[in-house]
């Protein structure tokens, strides 16, 4: 129910036998966004001979695409994709721009170059954990809201934003196995006066510290 992506874009470069390999890793939500990144990198380097790419999408990494962009078949996109999968990343696109240096690398050399370029970038990337969490809205009186929030944080529940009107509406993002315990906690601390509304589940960024969502 959880997986890892990257928290921010990564740029790295390798020079191998006088060819320059420039890699860009970016986090993306869908295939259209991945292809937009590929197009943008291509526009940034109009004089480069190749802009090879690979991307992995989804919590299970089920969507996988790669493109050799003129390199011999199987020598660029596939090893790039393998580097992403081996790093355990999803929702990420890799684009490697190659400036040819005049020395032929051969199929094996190209395969190693493209894979190692992406692999080196994955090592530089700051990772972001994502998990399936259900949206839960708590409506309660002002005097008990801080107690419920404090106890929720102590238990490691992810706390979201709050709205303040005639009552406090505090939002939480909970794993399915946390919802019942949270509802019992709210009922106990409010003497049954708090209302808990359970919403839909979606993947969200998880913070490394307990009891909060990533900003």
- Mean pLDDT, range 199-212, rounded to an integer: 78
Residue with tokens 């019992």: 184
Distance CA 98, CA 14 (A): 10
Q: Considering the chain, what percentage of its residues have pLDDT values greater than 90?
A: 91
**If pLDDT is split at 50, 70 and 90, which confidence band does 104 have?**
confident
**If pLDDT is split at 50, 70 and 90, which confidence band does 82 have?**
very high
Q: Is 142 exposed, middle or buried (0-12, 13-18, 19+ CB in 10 A)?
A: exposed
pLDDT, one tens digit per residue, over 5-32 is: 999 999 999 999 989 999 999 999 999 9
pLDDT at 213: 53
Residue with tokens 């996988």: 64
Residue with tokens 């004089």: 47
pTM score, two decimals? 0.84
Three-point CA angle 7, 10, 16, nearest 5°: 150
Output the CA–CA distances (angstroms, integers) from residue 148 to 89, 134, 166, 186, 192, in the order listed: 35, 18, 17, 6, 12
The pLDDT mean for the chain works out to 94
Contact 175, 131 (CB under 8 A): yes
**If pLDDT is split at 50, 70 and 90, which confidence band does 215 have?**
very low
Residue with tokens 């708090």: 194
Query: What is the C-alpha radius of gyration for the chain, rounded to an integer number of angstroms?
Result: 23
Output the CA–CA distances (angstroms, integers) from residue 98 to 45, 46, 49, 50, 162, in the order listed: 9, 11, 6, 5, 49
pLDDT higher for 206 or 102? 206
Map 140-167 to HEC letters.
Answer: ECCCCHHHHHHHHHHCCCEEEEEEECCC
pLDDT, one tens digit per residue, over 112-147 is: 999 999 999 999 999 999 999 999 999 999 999 999
Question: Coil, helix or strand for 178?
Answer: helix
């Amino acid at each position: 129910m959880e997986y890892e992506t990257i928290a921010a874009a990564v740029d790295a470069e390798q020079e191998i036998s006088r060819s320059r390999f420039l890699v860009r890793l970016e986090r993306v939500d869908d295939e259209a966004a991945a292809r937009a990144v590929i197009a943008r990198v291509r526009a940034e380097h109009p004089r480069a001979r190749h802009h090879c790419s690979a991307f992995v999408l989804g919590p299970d990494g089920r969507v996988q695409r790669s493109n050799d962009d003129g390199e011999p078949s199987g020598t660029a996109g596939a090893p790039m994709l393998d580097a992403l999968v081996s790093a355990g990343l999803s929702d990420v696109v890799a684009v490697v721009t190659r400036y040819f240096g005049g020395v032929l690398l051969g199929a094996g050399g190209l395969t190693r170059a493209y894979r190692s370029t992406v692999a080196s970038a994955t090592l530089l990337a700051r990772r972001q954990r994502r998990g399936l969490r259900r949206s839960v809205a708590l409506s309660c009186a002002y005097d008990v809201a801080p107690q419920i929030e404090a106890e929720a944080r102590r238990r490691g529940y992810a706390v979201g934003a709050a709205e303040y009107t005639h009552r406090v509406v505090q939002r939480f993002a909970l794993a399915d196995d946390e919802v019942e315990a949270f509802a019992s906690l709210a009922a106990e601390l409010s003497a049954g006066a708090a209302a808990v509304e359970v919403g839909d589940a979606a993947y969200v960024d998880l913070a490394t510290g307990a009891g909060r969502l990533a900003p």
